[in-house]
Chains A and B, each alone.
Chain A
Amino acid sequence: DQQVKQNSPSLSVQEGRISILNCDYTNSMFDYFLWYKKYPAEGPTFLISISSIKDKNEDGRFTVFLNKSAKHLSLHIVPSQPGDSAVYFCAASAGGGATNKLIFGTGTLLAVQP
């Protein structure tokens, strides 16, 4: 049972335009959400996170939106740059337990075309 879903395996965007990556989750106990970027042969790099008490968090070109009622979050990258081309993973965790293990989606490959 996939608790975190990224239904788009790939996305292609022109440089300078907005990239929107989507993520859906099923577990209502999740209270913290993260986005990671991964280049080939490297570990995931933390990008941005959001707590369930918020619906938006912004950091430079990156903004994460959370819609709790729809169990949906999205990552917006504006403006997109060729260096943003990578696999983006959505992850979630449920606080209150002893382990803050992350549950990951399967990733979306973003290609930013110059």
Chain B
Amino acid sequence: GAGVSQSPSNKVTEKGKDVELRCDPISGHTALYWYRQSLGQGLEFLIYFQGNSAPDKSGLPSDRFSAERTGGSVSTLTIQRTQQEDSAVYLCASSRDRTMRSQFFGPGTRLTVL
């Protein structure tokens, strides 16, 4: 597609429920990143996928967070047993490959945990 797309754009959930957030990167981009932006904060790195390599999960804040990337394209970020502190905007970015240093972001998913 023309740009990175994410769905849903907004998600409201109750504490303790699981949520799935989806990212479609730019076509042909092999590198995919997840970030989140909490209120008043900068963007915080969560996880990175590059082709078929093992993902870099070093930014995931707890084991309730997981992500997968199927077929080297679409990625899903899953948050289990959501907590109020998980409320944030979750942003996905892609780049052509790891040599391309500039990343292009999607519109984000605003997650609110009540």
Contacts and interface: CB of A to CB of B under 8 A. Distances in A.
Interface residues of A, number: 27
Interface residues of B, number: 30
A74 to B, nearest CB: 17
Contacts of B42: 4, 6, 89, 104-107
A89 B43 contact: yes
B78 to A, nearest CB: 20
A100 interface: yes
Interface string A83-114: 00000010101010011111111110000000
Contacts of B35: 102, 104
A103 B108 contact: no
A104 B102 contact: no
B77 to A, nearest CB: 15
A102 B98 contact: no
B71 interface: no
B28 interface: no
Interface of B: 4, 6, 31, 33, 35, 40-45, 48, 50, 53, 56, 58-59, 91, 93, 95, 98, 101-108, 110
